[in-house]
Amino acid sequence: MPKYYEDKEEDGQACSGVREDLRQCLLESPCVLQENKSPKQCLREGHCKSLQVTFFACKRSMLDTRARFRGRKGY
């Protein structure tokens, strides 16, 4: 599911790949395009649920002290 771009710069933030994919998924969803709702409303309704869970797991792994050894979740 990740989208890799050759010309893209790395911003150095944690979970940036998951964040960008979640943003694109929400902006391309029919909820935003056809129903003209905000991405925040569509996220609350349950669109792009798998990316939302992955993003949460990545952010949560930043607080986990075991992540020093295991690495961050996500991509």
Counted domains in the chain: 1
Residue 64 gets the label, from left (phi > 0), alpha (psi -120 to 50) or beta, of beta
- CA distances, 72 to each of 4, 22, 47, 62, 75 (Å): 18, 17, 24, 7, 8
Task: Tell me whether residue 7 is in a domain.
Answer: no
The whole model's pTM is what? 0.74
pLDDT digits (tens, 9 = 90+) for 38-54: 999 999 999 999 999 99
pLDDT (0 to 100) of residue 33: 92
Residue 71 in domain: no
> Does 61 score more than 90 pLDDT?
no
Domain range for residue 20?
Answer: 16-64
User: For residue 60, is it within any domain?
Assistant: yes
